[in-house]
Amino acid sequence: MLYRAQSNGLVAATRDHSPDDFLNEMVAGLVLPQSAPTIELELAQNSPPFWFFDAYPVRLARETAVQNAIRFARSHVVVRARAEEGWLVLSVEDDGPGLGTGGPPSTGLGTELCRSIAAAHVNAGKTGKVVLENRAQGGARFEPWRP
């Protein structure tokens, strides 16, 4: 997937999707261990009714982020969708130790793949990006931004 992203483009099947439906289906399809943290799905009131993106690589990136959050969370993972200044933001937050403190690494193949997937989404002069940071209240936040 990373090779495809770097060599000849990744976004092949871009079409309109409901962010709410997309996240609902993704969370409902998770196979969780018995000891898994609580997964909360939060859809913002300003979540757009549809957005254009290639669902396969976006789903792959989201599932990787959610599985990573589950691995490091103490008790809680939040999956969110929101629209912000012309961007669709699909975030994953956990209440684990955070980046650089025994939590998920801030660089690696999964992060690079997610960045490639985000960068393949371009619209109106904006290129997708990924924000990976520690939360002020503890834990990590992963946010792919899609134009």
Distance CA 32, CA 43 (A): 21
For residue 30, give the DSSP letter. Answer: -
How many CA atoms lie less than 13 Å away from 3 in the CB half-sphere? 0
Q: What is the reported pLDDT for 104?
A: 46
Cβ neighbours of 13 (radius 10 Å): 9
* Residue 56 and residue 26 in contact, taking contact as beta carbons nearer than 8 Å: no
Q: What is the reported pLDDT for 3?
A: 46
What lies within 8 Å, CB to CB, of 62 at 6+ separation is 23, 26, 79, 90, 92, 144
Nearest of 33, 118, 111 to residue 73 by alpha carbon: 33
- Tens place of pLDDT per residue across the chain (147 aa): 444 544 445 555 778 999 889 988 888 888 888 888 999 998 877 778 888 888 888 888 888 888 889 989 999 999 998 888 888 898 999 999 998 765 444 445 677 888 888 888 888 889 999 999 999 999 999 998 988
